[in-house]
């Protein structure tokens, strides 16, 4: 849109004034003044929430970016529509990305992408969100702008008068605030919002990283939220695969969890999620003690309740390889820990406890199982009681269980595991696997709780230790197997169908890698230019293709000089296909996800001749990049 178009528009508006004297004269742009009309798109967008209607505020400033330069436009209007103006003769362009609030942004008007930012720390605002906390974007080739919100809004009230802040974070270390890259669809709706690394200063230390939390703090006279008042926190919209937590910062107490979701949940842009009324109720001192150990990945405590002269945690599954301590709250101070390291503990025996200093003083059990764990309220001793008493529980083999095997052999569906004659040991029988077929064990047909190995390449007739969220397990030889999962001791067995799984030994080293099988390729080439992060440690590179007529394909990349690498498109693929560039472990030769160190986001090979993808400087996983012509 060139400047002369605005002058034509101004002449047309003057003509309208001559015919309609009710049109206010002050709406006619002066010579050199360029104006755009901005509207809000949806019920809860931009800038101030007024019931269910949002409005622009007088003094708002937006940036219009022509792909090269950003221009600051301001308004004196207030309402659902506003006129934004720029007084200058240097404004040029025909296509624009617009961003609220105004800032120093980077935009690609052809690709319809623009940078923005969601603040990590947001001052509170009653019945509203912090000014500038929710960026909104628009694309135009005319003088009209329809803004879309970028962020998700978390709405909440607090019960109590001692809450100073609210902190939000995901359970999978998702980046939830800071810089973002916003991409629009052809119809100008939001296509994606991707978090970027952000420079942040904390405790006088400045570093550039993905910011995994966002906080709204009480901006009131006493620095505490007003009870019963609605507040908002803006975060980066995305799918939280392992759920998220909400913490309240309590005056004089510290930060405490008040809401935790442990299943997948998607926060969408331009959407308000109501967290409801949040309250922290301080537990009695007697209930601050809990159990922390390998069963919890040394994270949060397993809570204990008061039972007479004891604290107790019921139905705790403890394997012989597990270790644990008793901990007061979340503290690791020596006087807040109690432990015992004089040998494995037996059920029904009381053991004296000591302080918690030292790393190797974990409590172990003599036999894996499910226990009620007791801690004396005077912290002098503990005991274990086997659930079900001393009698061996009666178990019916072959009954349904919540566990299943999911892998490449069943397109990552679910093959049910059933009970065996041993409690907490489950089996999937007669599973036919190809060589290097991958699998994991998961619960309730979901990935919320799943187990994979530290060993990637498993040889038949062995068992391996498995871990929550561990890597895919690949069997090295084709065959028909019985796959056992010992939930207590966290082991997976792969034995020839019908064999005795208890007779096999632990595998402690990876089996042989599969031979590299490169697919048939075409003459069509794509190139990768990794950044300095990706080239560290002698990494190698591979390209993963999917969506073609010949199925998913991995292709190794070879160096071609000037810091770039090439890969030929496989047979059955053409430009426009799906691709992910991967940084691979150089000590391996097989191309698979187990050997991947880092990756780009899901990409499409361009059809306009651009064939070189350059990874953005300073990034690691899914940090962005650009296509160009090599």
| Residue 617 in tokens | 């400087």
Query: Once rounded to an integer, what is the mean pLDDT over residues 251-260?
Result: 84
Interatomic CA distance for residues 231 and 155, integer angstroms: 6
Say how far apart CA 442 and CA 466 lie, in whole Å.
12
Asked if the model's pLDDT at residue 577 lies above 60, the reply is: yes
CA distance 188 to 142: 13
What pLDDT does 17 receive?
A: 28
Token pair in block for residue 484: 């056992």
Q: How much is the pLDDT for 357?
A: 57
Cβ atoms of residues 334 and 355 within 8 Å:
yes
Whose CA is closest to 217, among 305, 297, 129, 294? Answer: 129
pLDDT band at 24 (very low <50, low <70, confident <90, very high): very low
The pLDDT assigned to 532 comes to: 92
Confidence band (pLDDT; 50, 70, 90) for 27?
Answer: very low
- Residues 348, 296: Cα–Cα separation, whole Å: 24
Could you give the CA distance from residue 48 to residue 55 in angstroms, rounded to a whole number?
5
Question: E strands within 46-202?
Answer: 48-50, 53-55, 61-65, 70-74, 81-87, 96-100, 107-108, 113-118, 121-123, 136-140, 144-149, 152-158, 163-170, 178-184, 190-195, 198-202
How far is it, in rounded angstroms, from Cα 529 to Cα 435? 34
**Higher model confidence: residue 40 or residue 609?**
609
pLDDT reported for residue 555? 96
Confidence (pTM):
0.45
List, for residues 482-498, the tens digit of each pLDDT value. 999 998 888 999 999 99
At residue 248, does pLDDT exceed 70?
yes
Find the range with the poorest average confidence among 81-90, 200-209, 260-269. 200-209
pLDDT, residue 22, reads: 35
Quick one: tokens of 471?
Answer: 């890597």
Could you tell me the strand order of the sheet in which 564-570 lies?
558-561, 564-570, 521-529, 612-615, 625-628
Please give the Cα distance from 608 to 597 (Å, whole number): 30
At which residue do the structure tokens 């040991």 appear? 425
d(CA 598, CA 586): 12
Largest CA distance in the chain: 99
Question: pLDDT value at position 23?
Answer: 33
Sequence-distant (≥ 6) Cβ neighbours of residue 78 within 8 angstroms: 55, 56, 57, 58
Cis, peptide link before residue 170, omega less than 30° from 0: no
First to last CA, the chain: 31
The mean of the pLDDT values for the chain is 86
Domains in the chain: ranges and CATH: 32-278 (no CATH), 287-386 (2.60.40.3620), 400-506 (2.60.40.3620), 521-628 (2.60.40)
41-80 tens-digit pLDDT: 543 444 444 444 567 889 999 999 999 999 999 999 988 8
Percent of the chain with pLDDT over 70: 89
Q: H helices within 255-374, ranges in order?
A: none
339 in Cβ contact with 354 (< 8 Å): yes
Of 28-42, 107-121, 267-281, 583-597, minimum mean pLDDT range: 28-42
What would the pLDDT profile of 364-386 be if each residue is shown by its tens digit? 998 888 899 999 988 889 999 98
What's the confidence (pLDDT) of residue 565? Answer: 97
What are the tens digits of pLDDT across the range 396-443?
899 999 999 999 899 889 999 999 999 889 999 999 999 988 899 999
pLDDT at 360: 61
Cα–Cα dist 182/186, whole Å: 13
pLDDT at 25: 32
Task: Give Cβ neighbours of residue 621 (< 8 Å, ≥ 6 apart).
Answer: 598, 599
Residues 11-31 have a mean pLDDT of 32
What is the pLDDT at residue 601?
A: 94
The per-residue pLDDT for 413 is: 92
Q: Are strands 231-235 and 33-40 parallel, antiparallel or unpaired?
A: unpaired
Please give the Cα distance from 567 to 554 (Å, whole number). 10
Task: Answer whether residue 21 shows pLDDT above 80.
Answer: no
User: Higher pLDDT residue, 578 or 202?
Assistant: 578
Residue 390 pLDDT level (bands cut at 50, 70, 90): very low
Question: What does the pLDDT read at residue 586?
Answer: 87
pLDDT of 233 reads: 95
**3-state SS assignment for residue 601:** coil
CB-CB neighbours of 272 under 10 Å: 15
Comparing C-alpha atoms, which of 387, 383, 304 is closest to residue 348? 383
pLDDT over 90 percentage in the chain: 56
Please, are residues 491 and 463 in contact by the beta-carbon 8 Å criterion? yes
Reported in sequence order, the residue ranges of 171-243 that DSSP labels E, i.e. its strands, are 178-184, 190-195, 198-202, 205-209, 214-217, 231-235, 238-240
pLDDT at 86 over 60: yes
Output the DSSP codes for 460-523: SSEEEEEEET-BPEEESS-EEEEEEEETTTTEEEEEETTS-GGG-EE--S--PPPPP-PPPEEE
Higher pLDDT residue, 231 or 594?
A: 231
Q: What average pLDDT score do residues 131-135 get?
A: 89
Average pLDDT over residues 175-204: 91
Both tokens assigned to 584:
């691979």
Residue 8 has pLDDT above 50, yes or no: no
List, for residues 298-348, the tens digit of each pLDDT value.
777 888 988 888 999 998 988 888 889 999 888 888 778 888 767 899 999
Does the pLDDT value for residue 95 go beyond 70?
yes
């Amino acid at each position: 849109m060139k400047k002369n178009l605005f002058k034509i528009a101004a002449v047309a508006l003057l003509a309208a004034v001559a015919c309609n004297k009710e049109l206010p004269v002050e709406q006619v742009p002066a010579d050199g003044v360029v104006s755009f009309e901005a509207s809000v798109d949806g019920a809860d967008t931009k800038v101030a929430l007024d019931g269910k209607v949002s409005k622009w505020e007088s003094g708002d400033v937006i940036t219009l970016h022509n792909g090269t330069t950003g221009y600051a436009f301001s308004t004196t209007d207030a309402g659902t529509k506003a006129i934004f103006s720029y007084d200058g003769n240097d404004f040029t362009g025909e296509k624009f990305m617009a961003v609220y609030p105004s800032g120093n942004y980077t935009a690609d008007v052809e690709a319809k992408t623009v940078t923005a930012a969601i603040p990590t720390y947001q001052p509170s605002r009653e019945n509203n969100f912090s000014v500038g906390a929710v960026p909104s974007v628009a694309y135009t080739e005319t003088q009209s702008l329809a803004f879309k919100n970028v962020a998700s809004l978390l709405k909440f009230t607090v019960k109590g008068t001692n809450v100073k802040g609210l902190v939000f974070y995901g359970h999978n270390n998702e980046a939830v605030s800071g810089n973002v890259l916003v991409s629009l669809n052809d119809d100008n709706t939001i296509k994606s919002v991707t978090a970027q690394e952000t420079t942040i200063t904390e405790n006088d230390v400045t570093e550039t990283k993905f910011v995994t939390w966002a906080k709204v703090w009480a901006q009131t006279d006493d620095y505490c939220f007003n009870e019963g008042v609605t507040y908002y926190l803006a975060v980066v919209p995305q799918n939280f695969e392992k759920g998220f937590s909400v913490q309240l910062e309590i005056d004089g107490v510290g930060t405490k969890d008040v809401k935790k979701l442990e299943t997948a949940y998607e926060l969408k842009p331009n959407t308000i999620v109501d967290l409801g009324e949040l309250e922290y109720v301080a537990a009695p001192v007697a209930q601050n003690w809990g159990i922390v150990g390998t069963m919890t990945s040394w994270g949060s405590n397993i809570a204990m309740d008061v039972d007479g002269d004891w604290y107790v945690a019921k139905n705790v599954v403890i394997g012989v390889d597990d270790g644990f301590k008793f901990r007061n709250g979340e503290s690791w101070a020596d006087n807040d820990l109690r432990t015992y390291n004089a040998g494995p503990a037996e059920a029904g025996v009381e053991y004296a406890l000591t302080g918690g200093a030292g790393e190797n003083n974990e409590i172990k059990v003599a036999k894996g199982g499910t226990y009620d764990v007791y801690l004396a309220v005077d912290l002098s001793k503990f005991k274990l009681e086997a659930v079900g008493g001393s009698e061996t529980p009666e178990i019916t083999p072959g009954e349904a269980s919540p566990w299943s095997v999911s892998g490449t052999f069943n397109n990552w569906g679910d093959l049910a595991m059933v009970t065996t004659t041993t409690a907490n040991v489950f089996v999937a029988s007669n599973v036919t696997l190809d060589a290097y077929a991958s699998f994991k064990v998961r619960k309730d047909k979901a990935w919320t709780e799943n187990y994979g190995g530290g060993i990637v390449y498993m040889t038949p007739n062995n068992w391996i230790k498995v871990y929550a969220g561990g890597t895919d397990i690949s069997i090295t030889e084709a065959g028909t197997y019985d796959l056992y999962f010992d939930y207590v001791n966290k082991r997976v067995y792969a034995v020839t169908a019908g064999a005795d799984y208890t007779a096999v030994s632990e595998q402690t080293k990876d089996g042989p890698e599969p031979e590299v099988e490169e697919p048939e390729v075409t003459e069509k080439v794509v190139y990768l230019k990794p950044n300095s992060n990706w080239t560290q440690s002698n990494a190698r590179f591979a390209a993963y293709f999917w969506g073609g007529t010949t199925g998913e394909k991995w292709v190794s990349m070879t160096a071609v000089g000037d810091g770039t690498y090439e890969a030929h498109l496989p047979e059955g693929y053409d430009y426009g296909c799906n691709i992910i560039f991967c940084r691979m472990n150089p000590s391996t030769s097989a191309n698979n996800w187990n050997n991947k160190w880092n990756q780009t986001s899901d990409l499409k090979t361009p059809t306009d001749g651009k064939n070189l993808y350059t990874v953005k400087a300073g990034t690691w996983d899914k940090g962005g990049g650009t296509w160009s012509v090599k």
